[in-house]
Amino acid sequence: MKKIIRITTVPLALKSLLHGQMNFMWQNGFEVLMISADGPEREDVIKQEQCPHQIVPMTRKITPLQDLKCLWQLIRIMRKEKPNIVHTHTPKAGLLGMLAAWISRVPVRIHTVAGLPLMVEKGFKLQLLKAIEKITYATATNVWPNGASMKKVIEENRFCSPKKIKVIGNGSSNGIDTNRFNSQALDPIQLQKIKQEINYDPNTTYLLFTGRLVYDKGIVELITAFEKIQKSNPGLKLILTGNFEKSLDALPPYIEKIIVSNPAIIHISWTSYVEYFMALANIFIFPTHREGFPNVLLQASLMKLPIVCSNIPGNVDIVVHQKTGLLFMVDNVHSLCEQLEYAINNTHKMKTMAEEQYHFVYNNFPREVVWQALLEEYNQLSN
């Protein structure tokens, strides 16, 4: 049986970003070993995927000594396991995983690019992150950006030979679960619980953001724009589902204070019921500064939730301005306010766009389609 090692920096990425994919590969003839740092999601991942998992204590920060220890640990695992394929996701796992696989002479070394932190950096850190990307891609045999616009960024920066670069299928790292994100499949009891949790009022307009509450997700602009628009729309409410992150890319304290103190802002910690919030919301707002091929936009699309998002690589692969949603200039409060006000005042047009967006996503990104495309690539590369 051919063997694949799948590596992400933290187990949350295995659990949420690649949900079901490792189990699918196992059911289709591959032995799969998962590797990440330890974390509260680890046991869930093992149970969910029915594949073994090994802990390598990688960090998401620049930690040279720890990184070298993890590199040596990965080399030892690969020399013992002798995989046919090593496939990495996320920057740190990509760097260490591709280096270890190259040193261990693994024949097929794949790195998926699902966003580039360097897109929001400047100065020395930008140059350092560019160098890391070049090392990662140099030691990979295959570089898979998960969308056309991310492929363009890699090519423009000349991070590696164009021969290595390929978008699998129509894009996306894992596709979308069309059974889960289906308004007809919601549990009415759970929906009622969510309504009670947010004191749902059908006469209120709800904006929804889902994701980590960090600077790079555009939360500063979102909160600033919301407070401006709220003055002329007193019935407006903003739901934020996601956790604050203090250690990496934290929000300014004054923004966190507004989130906690403004009664029109409803903060829900990370939730397993995001589809229920999408069913109740009126507009999905995604002001992120950098993405790969964002799953939340696929999710909102299948829930027929009108979308307003930043015009960055990744987002523009999914949303077409004034056709399937609205785009605004990234990191620009004025542009965000303009598009939000248009969305609030043109509900019929937004619903029409959301309907078209639904059909685009439903026809192109079911996870089974993405998994099958990946399986065919694995089989072809490992023959």
Please check the confidence at residue 383 and state whether its pLDDT lies above 70. yes
Phi, psi at 131, each rounded to 5°: -65, -40
Say what the pLDDT of residue 138 is.
Answer: 97
Establish how many alpha carbons lie within 13 A of residue 225's alpha carbon, considering only the half-sphere containing its beta carbon: 24
Query: pLDDT-based confidence at 96, cuts 50/70/90?
Result: very high
pLDDT(25) > 70? yes
Q: CA-to-CA distance for 157 and 161, rounded, in angstroms?
A: 11
Q: What is the pLDDT of residue 120?
A: 65
Q: Is the pLDDT of residue 24 over 70?
A: yes
Eight-state DSSP code of residue 251: P
Q: Render pLDDT for 301-314 as a digit per residue (tens, 0 to 9).
A: 999 999 999 999 99
Of 164, 106, 111, 167, which Cα lies nearest the Cα of 136? 111
For the chain, domains (ranges, CATH) are 2-175+367-382 (3.40.50.2000), 183-364 (3.40.50.2000)
- C-alpha span between 319 and 375 (Å, rounded): 27
Residue pair 267/317 in contact by the 8 Å Cβ criterion: no
Q: What is the pLDDT of residues 33-86, one digit of tens each?
A: 999 999 999 999 999 999 999 999 999 888 999 999 999 999 999 999 999 999
- Mean pLDDT for 329-341 is 97
